[in-house]
Chain A
Amino acid sequence: AQSVTQPDIHITVSEGASLELRCNYSYGATPYLFWYVQSPGQGLQLLLKYFSGDTLVQGIKGFEAEFKRSQSSFNLRKPSVHWSDAAEYFCAVVGGYNKLIFGAGTRLAVHP
């Protein structure tokens, strides 16, 4: 069955520090992968997507993610975190009927 695992429920980093949020997926074929960000009480905003091609994808707000087929991973990275990046981050894979299968999310806190 298709699934997404985000091993870290909560991460705290200092402003200016680098960030890596982990995502592992289970999918039989070549996956379509996404990272979304959600501020409290808000909808989901797309950060970046991977469909095919270059395994390092660039997104908005300075985020990037790397697709590693051998590790079934699609980790999100940012070299320098800003206080405004505090939010919840969701990794998702496209399943049957083009539905999105989401992980449980990682809540990011940023210390000044």
Chain B
Amino acid sequence: ETGVTQSPTHLIKTRGQQVTLRCSSQSGHNTVSWYQQALGQGPQFIFQYYREEENGRGNFPPRFSGLQFPNYSSELNVNALELDDSALYLCASSKREPNTEAFFGQGTRLTVV
């Protein structure tokens, strides 16, 4: 089975720009969650997608948005980038069942200058 893959691995953007990050979920998984990990901190939950709809959101502003596609892959979009958006963005996929674990991709390192 294939694991969770994210693209791109690194990205540099200018403040005010928009960015799209992509995630392919693990085979057999139907739920995708996105996390932001600032330097020296633990990952923070952004939102989760199930059946192509947002299903839970953390404390992030609306300029953070996402999509999930019929093949369960997902995108994270961030508008009006701010310097504090610089972080490692992690995608995790899982099955929508109790007692299941999430599998993480390698992440996308976003730098906003």
Contact = CB atoms under 8 A, between A and B. Distances in A.
A43 B90 contact: yes
Contacts of A96: 56
B42 A105 contact: yes
B107 A104 contact: no
B58 interface: yes
A43 B106 contact: yes
Interface residues of B, number: 29
Decide if the interface of chain B is mainly helix, strand, loop or mixed: strand
Interface residues of A, number: 26
Interface in A40-77: 41-46, 49, 51-52
A44 B90 contact: yes
Contacts of A103: 42
Contacts of A99: 33, 45, 48, 56, 58
B102 interface: yes
Nearest to A41: B109
Interface string B26-56: 0000010101000011111100100000011
Contacts of A87: none
A95 B101 CA distance: 13
A42 B44 CA distance: 16
